[in-house]
Chain A
Amino acid sequence: MAQGVIKKEDLYRLLSTAAGKKKVYAPIDGVGGIEFAEIHEQKEITLDYSNSKLSPKSIFFPQREVLCTFADDALEEVQTPKEALIVFGIRPCDALSLTYLDKVFSDSAGRFKDPYYLKRRENAVIISLACKEPRATCFCTSVGGSPSGKEGADILVYELADKLLFESCSDRGQDFMKTASVLFKQAEEDHKTAAKEQAEKAKDGMPVLNLNGLKERVDKVFEDPLWDEITRNCLGCGACTYLCPTCHCFDITDEENRKGEGYRIRTWDSCQYPLFTLHASGHNPRVNKKQRMRQRIMHKYSYTVDNYGDIFCVGCGRCILYCPVNLDIRDMLNTLNKL
């Protein structure tokens, strides 16, 4: 493990030095809130945030992506993305979520690999930023994460008073730090102690959700009428699924202009919409919002456990913060687990 300290104001210098030809992404204070964007100077970066509004999944799995193009009836492949990225400032929950998306898009059986997503991931360095003050809606520690979790990160950074403490957690992270080694000062004992204390404090302050036995529980109560009750207020807007860092559902459609040139594109889709599962015959296996919300919860807390061995929720709290009717997934889980 490599460790090193820089002054906050030297962050861009460090990132750009180590980046070489790579693009640098970092959190900026955007129009609609905190977002990840390609940056070119220090003053664009903000460190004053608990998390971004949209999850950083869009860097690797964009909301709209061209899969191939065609002119008349002939198809042309597009180059799979070649650009290499450095992404700074991803929170540990979102870094963990990338490891889940990796499982979906790489497919452990190795039959179908998604070249668009995987190419971007292959070439990326993830530098995540440990949380000092989790939000009231955060619950990462209840779903296997931590405010200073390392999974999915190549480097974990602690924000100290006017400094940043870098700690590599993968070979790629170590290489990155080596490339820019001249810019790092040695990490002193008090830096490490401060980081450790901060991590403990963040963790201890987090409310704990008791999800023991939840999978077995939800598997058993699939038909319970309680599902109607807990999903009654849902508008079916799908905001929760678009914001969720682990949701990966998409649609594939063709777009064409008058000259007969076109694109096959994939766009984010959501299990909260009736058309998502509508058969051509008019039959629909999930006709109402109870069934669709049940699908969202079962998918995250049961099906992915069967298929990938993981709960596909990292406790980022976005779905709680931004739901227009304040539907709280923690309440739903609690209610179900008490059934």
Chain B
Amino acid sequence: MENPYIPYPVSIDAITIENDAKDLKTFKLTFDREEDLKAFTYMPGQFAEMSVFGKGESPFGIASSPTEEGYLLFTVKRTGTVTKELHNSEPGRKIGVRGPLGNTFPWDRMVGKNIVIVSGGFAFTTLRSAITYMLCKEQRSKFGSITTVYGARDPGELMYKDILKSWEANTNIDLTLTVDRAPDNGWHGRVGLVPNVLKEVNPSSENSIALVCGPPIMIRFTIPVLLELGFNKDDIIISLENRMKCGIGKCGRCNVGSKYVCIDGPVFTYAELEHLPAEY
């Protein structure tokens, strides 16, 4: 019997610091065994449990895209035991990855649609995966326009700066960056909270699906804007991040009503969430 609690052995191949506060780092992981790499097939929207032996495991959205072959990326904010230990690690360290877990963005339904992406803070990880996936040569023609609003507290907190730069120059995606506070100099993006900037960008809801990832408060204020823009409740896609342990629907902590975020989610439509208690 396969044991769903046992992680694959992986190695940290590279570590990138993502923000000025230096509490966000991206970990590039490679599988120690070829067969595990093959077994780990995923789609953007899914997550995995990363473990540091002796410290514990925690769930993280998969930031790489399946089109980036041979490795996985996770961007981790330093908060507690596991994340601190990861931040104190050097390349070469052996850790574990368990997954892929959870459902994916609704890729079947997204084909042929205009995609609107709304994100704030470090929840942008799985959207990095989704955008990278859609922008790759084989996939791009399957989707309509890609409009993205991504915000952070200040410019130094925006992640994936090199990629953002390349996306800004890429006519296949319309990227709007925003920060909460106006910096002193050199900022050419917008200033304002994500929901307000989304209103200004005013993407059409015609034949469109919106993907929303961010802190609970941002999600709360973004939904009314999308509804006002004319999005159907079914076409507003939200990714939740309830606290998790097992990731496989058994330990009981991640539920929202009768749904477990780890197996029924993390991706839900607003139409689904509307009927569930607001316990997220």
Contact = CB atoms under 8 A, between A and B. Distances in A.
Interface of A: 67-68, 70, 72-75, 77, 80, 104-105, 107, 111-115, 118-119, 222, 248-254, 256, 260, 262, 264, 266, 269, 271, 276-281, 283, 285-286, 291, 295, 298-299, 302-304, 306-307
Nearest to A241: B252
Contact of B53 (A74, A250, A253, A295): A74
A248 B252 CA distance: 7
B250 A253 contact: no
Nearest to A281: B215
B53 A254 contact: yes
Given A75-B96, A303-B258, A104 B250 contact: yes
B70 to A, nearest CB: 22
Contact of A276 (B96, B253, B278): B253
A201 B2 CA distance: 47
Contacts of B280: 285
A260 B4 CA distance: 24
11 contacts: A75-B6, A80-B1, A113-B1, A222-B277, A262-B54, A269-B245, A277-B253, A279-B241, A280-B83, A283-B215, A285-B242
B54 A254 contact: yes
B94 interface: yes
Contacts of B251: 249-252, 266, 269
Q: How large is the interface on B (under 10, 10 to 19, 20 to 34, 35 or more residues)?
A: 35 or more
A285 B259 CA distance: 14
Given A74-B94, A303-B258, A291 B54 contact: no
Contact of B3 (A80, A250, A291): A80
B242 A254 contact: no
Contacts of A250: 245-246, 250-252
A79 to B, nearest CB: 11
Contacts of B161: none
B142 interface: no
Contacts of B278: 285
Contacts of B243: 276-280
Nearest to B216: A283
Contacts of B56: 252-254, 264
Contacts of A112: 4, 248-250, 263
Contacts of B252: 248-250, 269, 271, 299
- 4 tightest CB-CB pairs across the interface, nearest first? A249-B252, A256-B54, A303-B258, A112-B248
